Amino acid sequence: MDTFDNIAQYPIYFAPGCQLLQLQPTMVSDVYDYLRRLFGNKIRLYTRCCGLDDANQHDEEAVFITLCDTCFKIYGSTYANLHMRDFWDVYDEYKSIYPLGDKEDELRKALKSTLCDYTLPQKALKNWMEEWKTWSTKED
């Protein structure tokens, strides 16, 4: 894994996780604002669900910063060209420069109230999607 010193050489995406994006949009906005203070306009918000993402989307080498354990695992194991970063690791590296202050506790609480701390059963999710596709396209 490369070091923090060189992550800015690639396009940077903030992939908060679809659950957090839906359940805590204000918190996602606060974290995105924080990351924009660190990386400027170089960072972009990535809102796709890791379980339903199209494999052809990630042909460029890029850094993905995420709050979601599931996104971290799925994107990290699926795409060799993505440099995965957990938000908390990035925060630990830069908190002396830009601390979150009171928002850090709020963010940790928000994460516990969503599914971002838990791994989605990826195989079961894909099986369910295949069954749904078969059912939804079945002719009567």
pLDDT at residue 14 in the model: 94
* Domain assignment present for 133: yes
* Domain assignment present for 84: yes
* Domain assignment present for 1: no
pLDDT at residue 116 in the model: 54
pLDDT at residue 65 in the model: 94
The domain total for the chain is 1
- Please give the chain's pLDDT, 140 residues, in tens: 445 556 778 889 999 988 888 888 888 898 999 999 988 888 999 988 887 776 556 678 889 999 888 888 888 888 888 889 999 899 888 888 888 888 888 777 777 666 554 444 555 566 666 777 787 777 76
Residue numbers of the domain that contains 80:
12-137
* Domain assignment present for 107: yes
* Packing angle, helices 25-39 and 87-94, rounded to 10: 50
pLDDT at residue 67 in the model: 87
* Domain assignment present for 117: yes
* Domain assignment present for 115: yes
